[in-house]
Chains A and B, each alone.
Chain A
Amino acid sequence: MKKLVSTYSISAIMATVISLVATAPVFAAGEHVPQHVERLDWSFAGVGGQHDRAQLQRGFQVFQQVCTACHGLKYVRFRNLSESGGPQFPVEAVKGLAASWPYQITDGPNDEGKMIERLPGLADPIVGPYKNDQEARAVQGGALPPDLSLIVKARTVESHAPWYTHWFWMLADIATGYEEAGANYLYALLTGYEEAPAGAEMGEGMYYNLAFPGHQLAMAPPLSNDNYIEYQPDAGAKGSLDQNAKDVTAFLAWAADPSLDARKKLGWQVLLYLLITTLLLYAVKKRVWARAKN
């Protein structure tokens, strides 16, 4: 009898749940054009991913010739450009680069109590054109070009997967070690400029961008199909909007996480050690417990 009651109560609960599902309000679909961001296969993505040195060098070229017009890279120092895991330019070349950098470092006060402007050296940050946010806003008509040191880590793409597939995407990312949403976003942003569709109300001085949330972006297209950076013949790739965007994104991914190569290499050594030790410990456990059976 009790069994019957319990079976009944379970089916009653199930029925309630099902009826709730049936009457629940439908999840709101994206009201307007959704953010368009593709999932790319970066050389540095995944558990075995490493940066491609040639790509980082090309990416730095794009950064230097395009992005530095408005943006700085304050957490990256010139010396980092010659370190392993990065673009690895020769130290002499980086010294020359720092000495000819268009923006100066404010230093001091000197012996006379005055602040001085001087050229950067190897130990100095890769500064942008503006001394502070106020100056940047004043020049840029109110918009603030952010420092790019962490931009790839500081951006992501919201998952729009429905709740029942959400978990599988998550598990797939965890299993493959894929956390490149920020890079995907940046690439999509750089290549996502379009004519605003009819009916879209654009603010003054704003540009339509498919990847940007809300689609209105104050940054003018930094690259386009007619205006991109040509590479040296031995750079490993031909310049194009797409290639420039990929390369500078890879460079900024390195800038946000300069230890990625070392981290993933050490990771495999540590995991191999753990795996072998786990197997040995399991064998020990088996032998120890064999005694308890009798």
Chain B
Amino acid sequence: MAAHESTYEPKSRFAKWMDDRLPIGRMVHDQFVDFPTPRNLNYLWTFGSILTFFLMAQILTGIVLAMHYQASAADAFDSIERIRRDVNYGWLLRPLHAVGASMFFLAAYIHIFRGLYYGSYKAPREILWIIGVLIFVAMMATAFLGYSLPWGQMSFWAVTVITNLFSSLDDLISGLGTTVVQWLWGGYSVTGVTLTRFYSLHYLLPFVIAGLVGMHIWALHVVGQNNPTGLELKTKSDAVPMHPYAISKDAVGMFVFLIVFLWFVFFLPDYLGHSDNYVPANPMVTPPHIVPEWYFLPYYAILRAIPSKLLGVIAMFSSIGILFFLPWLDTSLVRSAKYRPLYKWFFWLFVFTCVALGYLGSKPAEGAYIFWARVFTIYYFAHFLIVLPVLGLIEKPKKLPGSITEDVLGPEGTAAAAAAGKRG
């Protein structure tokens, strides 16, 4: 789609002069104004814009918070309280950033599941998908590092538990795990040294994400957007220009999502957090249940479902790593679940599995909880390794419409649109 003909015409002498030297105006016009977007995109396709907004908002609120935050074991907790109590509008700034992280993940999950439902990872969008998974991994790292900064009990113990995972590498090569963990900690235990380096990395990674997002959008504009039919753009009437069509729709989607976001910020600023993080970090007292933020719960359930520590760690990382191979695990030639009568069911079963793992991750690892965590962990991997490869071979897809236009306007409408196209 990047190959669509440029319709940019510089309007002023300066624009013309600039266009001959650095055609940034042409790029913006061709990629974000006149860019052809499928005419049948639903509101699930507004989450790309929503995510871009959240990345920028997080960076902005984060930069201001960094002006008031103290990254040392002695001062971190107090400095958060100072932000909440004494900094002008600090009581608003802090939940904007903390709740913002949660909402960033909520939007990312909707975006990812939309891709799963409509087969947005299939050729020619494999690289687009893989960059997306890389962004997701970088987001998780950033969120984990950021969660350590308030230096409350849950911050401290989350850092302790997660960094300690690497000690399981000792089972592979004796001493390797211990070395890695000490290198991460900057010492022999989690201390202020660990906090300071985590702060440094927490400030760095968002800019890495921004770079990856640039590549994600670049790749998207090369292959073009997928859409609910999963069909490629064939005729001119299949697409509408990004401005004003897609943009006006994105604006609606974004504002609806903002309502949800700010509902939490103003009325439930601590609902998504853990009360233990209002207790200052104390290496001598372990909280009864150490749980991560809600968006990490499914992986935490997988980690704890497996009796061996090393294998649990491997399973947890594989649960995300497997996403990189998704374009080749799904053997179906049809993209959209709309035309895949069986996949549709398995998609929702997979959603249920992820939610169930999330619920189980929030519960203590004992009795029935651990049993069910194992059942759903097995199904999680079976979905990718068995269901998707087999389904593509045995499923009989429904009849696909001839084109996007036909899907929207029906056969007569398509004929009319074609005729209009010829007249025009």
Contacts and interface: CB of A to CB of B under 8 A. Distances in A.
A198 interface: no
Interface stretch (B7-15, B203-211, B243-251, B321-329): B243-251
B345 to A, nearest CB: 6
Contact of A258 (B85, B271, B395): B85
A200 interface: no
Given A27-B368, A292-B245, A153 B278 contact: yes
Contact of A288 (B85, B244, B266, B270): B244
Contact of B266 (A258, A263, A277, A292): A263
A256 B371 CA distance: 39
A28 B248 contact: no
B255 A154 contact: no
Contacts of B368: 24-28
A247 B267 CA distance: 22
A285 B248 contact: yes
B255 A267 contact: no
A28 B367 CA distance: 7
Contacts of A10: 342, 345
A75 B367 contact: no
A263 B93 CA distance: 11
B279 A281 contact: no
Chain A contact residues, majority secondary structure: helix
Interface in B230-266: 240, 244-245, 248-249, 251-252, 255-256, 258-259, 262-266
A194 to B, nearest CB: 23
Interface residues of A, number: 54
B372 A179 contact: no
A166 interface: yes
A172 interface: no
A95 interface: no
B359 A166 contact: yes
Given A2-B394, A278-B256, A266 B92 contact: yes
Residue picked from B266, B279, B375, most chain A C-beta under 10 Å = B266
B371 A24 contact: yes
B307 interface: no
A263 B92 contact: yes
Interface stretch (A102-110, A228-236, A268-276): A268-276
A75 B279 CA distance: 13
Contacts of A221: none
A61 interface: no
A178 to B, nearest CB: 8
B276 interface: yes
Interface string A165-206: 010000001100101011000000000000000000000000
A166 B84 CA distance: 31
A179 B264 CA distance: 11
Given A274-B258, A285-B252, A266 B266 contact: yes
B359 to A, nearest CB: 6
Interface of B: 39, 81, 84-85, 91-92, 240, 244-245, 248-249, 251-252, 255-256, 258-259, 262-271, 275-276, 278-279, 288, 341-342, 345, 349, 359, 366-369, 371-372, 375, 394-396, 420
